[in-house]
Amino acid sequence: MIDHGIVPTCRSDVGTSNNTSEEFVNQECKISINHESAIIPNNEPDDFFRLSFRERLRHFTWAWYTLTMSAGGLALLLHNQPYQFRGLREIGLLVYFLNIAFFIVICSLMVTRFIIYNNMMDSLRHDREGFFFPTFWLSIATMISGLSEYWGATNPTPSLAYALNVLFWIYCICTFACAVIQYSFVFSYHTFGLQTMMPSWILPAFPIMLSGTIASAVAGQQPAHSATPMIVAGLTFQGLGFSISFMMYAHYIGRLMQTGIPSSEHRPGMFICVGPPAFTLLAVIGMANGLPDGFKMVDGGGMDDRHIMRVLAICVGMFLWALSVWFFCIAFGSVIRDPPKAFHLNWWAMVFPNTGLTLATITLAKSLRSAAFEWVATGMSICIICMFLFVFTSTVRAVLKKRIMWPGRDEDVSE
């Protein structure tokens, strides 16, 4: 929306079944958009009208945190490579600190937007932008895990272990509240048809699911009296997030059967479905490996419960890995057949969930002691790095070319 007398009209070429349009009026400006499809082509002349940075900031949405969650995931990926070389850790640290810098900049711009336009609650209640609020928590999850991987694993101290323990429990409380409140609001105030279902509906369950991923990274550095409750909570919340995602999968598959593959502009978002099984594999095996000495599921008995849990975790991880690969193949084939014509921030879905799949592959390869699997994971890592650089470059170019942060071209447009 703009604050002057120009009246732009944005059209979408995305295939829809409803041609009705909806007008959004903001003081002197009126933008007409297609109600069924929020993503529009960026083929209007760049100089059709001019907006100041302050006016463009109105369209700086929660979806920008997809950049920081992807950069944080990349830092974790670099740290966990099966084949290390001199300087790799330093490169990972550089990515980690750059991610923190990106996070601070994005937070500052979001706060500035909310101060200028007083629309924070509107953004959270929005039927499309609101679904991207959880990416804020996903970014925090990658930073907590990175803190543990880069400092806790190499130079553990009691103070750092205590800080990570506190951060874990604060994260669990906040993300559980996010999952409950956001889904309760969606169920009460929004109505979505099955034919409009997109994987972004899973996002509110994603942060609580990554509690298990954080626990898998942190628990091994905790004393036994802290590690066991952390692993129990991590497994519980990981199960909750994956269960919600699995229920959403039913709607997603039903939508694909009923209305077919989404339009080209929405197809990068299909990679979101790759994430839940991949991160669950990563969490389950990691938490099993982090069980403290003397861990017992049931008092009495002479069995080694840790060994049993590790075997079960690997077995469960195998079918979760296959499910994640299946979703990846469906999404990859769909994008290749009809690539998106214009950049949108949903392109970052081609990075973060696939980073989870690559980390899961590395974890499974190490557990199975498979050198061939490790080389596959290394090849996947190279692809992730290339995709990150491609999407990052496309993001910068889209801002400069006015393809995003522009009326009708961001996630603040209703679907």
Digit-coded pLDDT (tens) for 123-152: 999 989 999 999 999 999 999 999 999 998
Closest CA to 230 of 238, 20, 147, 115: 238
pTM of the predicted structure, to 2 decimals: 0.85
Q: Which of 122-131, 147-156, 369-378 has the lowest mean pLDDT?
A: 147-156
Residue whose pair of structure tokens reads 């850790």 in the numeric block:
89
What pLDDT shows up at residue 118? 92
What pLDDT shows up at residue 191? 87
Instruction: For residue 339, tell me if it sits in a domain.
Output: yes
- Residues 353 and 393: their CA atoms lie apart, in Å, by 19
Instruction: For residue 69, tell me if it sits in a domain.
Output: yes
Report whether pLDDT(38) > 80: no
142 token code pair: 């990658």
Residue whose pair of structure tokens reads 């938490």 in the numeric block:
287
Instruction: For residue 344, tell me if it sits in a domain.
Output: yes
* Average pLDDT over every residue of 313-335: 96
Instruction: For residue 41, tell me if it sits in a domain.
Output: no
Instruction: For residue 408, tell me if it sits in a domain.
Output: no
What pLDDT shows up at residue 413? 85
Closest CA to 122 of 61, 37, 65: 61
Confidence of residue 18 (pLDDT cuts 50, 70, 90): very low
- Residues 375 and 363: their CA atoms lie apart, in Å, by 12
User: Model confidence over 46-97: pLDDT tens digits?
Assistant: 444 688 889 999 999 999 999 999 999 999 999 999 999 999 999 999 999 9
* Full residue range of the structural domain in which residue 89 is found: 53-401
What pLDDT shows up at residue 294? 73
Residue whose pair of structure tokens reads 């996070």 in the numeric block:
103
Distances from the Cα of 79 to the Cα of 87, 249, 376, angstroms: 11, 31, 17
Distances from the Cα of 296 to the Cα of 216, 301, 302, 383, angstroms: 18, 9, 10, 41
Residue pair 211/233 in contact by the 8 Å Cβ criterion:
yes
Helix (H) or strand (E) holding 61: none
Residue pair 267/210 in contact by the 8 Å Cβ criterion:
no
What percent of the chain stands above pLDDT 90?
Answer: 71
Q: What is the mean pLDDT of the chain?
A: 86
What pLDDT shows up at residue 24? 37
* Average pLDDT over every residue of 368-397: 96
Closest CA to 278 of 243, 309, 244, 242: 242
* Average pLDDT over every residue of 215-225: 90
Instruction: For residue 60, tell me if it sits in a domain.
Output: yes
Residue pair 406/59 in contact by the 8 Å Cβ criterion:
yes
Determine phi and psi for 35, rounding to 5 degrees.
Answer: -70, -30
Instruction: For residue 139, tell me if it sits in a domain.
Output: yes
Give CA torsion, residues 247, 264, 131, 64, to 10 deg.
Answer: 140
What pLDDT shows up at residue 8? 41
Instruction: For residue 225, tell me if it sits in a domain.
Output: yes
Confidence of residue 355 (pLDDT cuts 50, 70, 90): very high
Helix (H) or strand (E) holding 24: strand 21-26
* Average pLDDT over every residue of 246-267: 92
Distances from the Cα of 190 to the Cα of 62, 255, 279, 340, angstroms: 19, 18, 29, 27
- Residues 157 and 177: their CA atoms lie apart, in Å, by 31
What percent of the chain stands above pLDDT 70?
Answer: 87
* Bridge partners (DSSP) listed for residue 26: 29
Report whether pLDDT(322) > 50: yes
Q: Which of 152-156, 319-323, 374-378 has the lowest mean pLDDT?
A: 152-156
Report whether pLDDT(11) > 70: no
Q: What is the CATH number of the domain that holds 328?
A: 1.50.10.150
Determine phi and psi for 32, rounding to 5 degrees.
Answer: -95, 125
Report whether pLDDT(378) > 80: yes
Structural domains of the chain, count: 1
Closest CA to 260 of 322, 338, 316: 338
